[in-house]
Amino acid sequence: MSTLEGSETADSIDEDTSQIRHARRSKVWEHYEQEMVVVEGDLKVVCKYYRGQFHTKFGTSSLRTRIAEA
């Protein structure tokens, strides 16, 4: 195998792994739809109860706060 072929394989592996979904371990995900939606170019989650849309850019802390306020 040549060096060029090896680098192409590594590039394709990097592309494939960047799209792997991580397991959602936080209990807060029970209150939000599994599929995210795109709103004005940003990925957001949708609340199951009152359909509010929130981003998770900084983790689940903000989602947990929103549920506590509801």
Cα torsion through 51, 55, 61, 66, rounded to 10? -30
Place of tokens 């957001």: 44
pTM (2 decimals)?
A: 0.60
Higher pLDDT, 66 or 13: 66
> SS3 sequence, 3-43?
HHHHHHHHHHHHHHHCCCCCCCCCHHHHHECCCCEEECCEE
pLDDT digits (tens, 9 = 90+) for 8-65: 444 444 444 444 567 788 999 999 998 999 999 999 999 999 899 998 888 888 898 8
Token readout for 57 is 């850019």
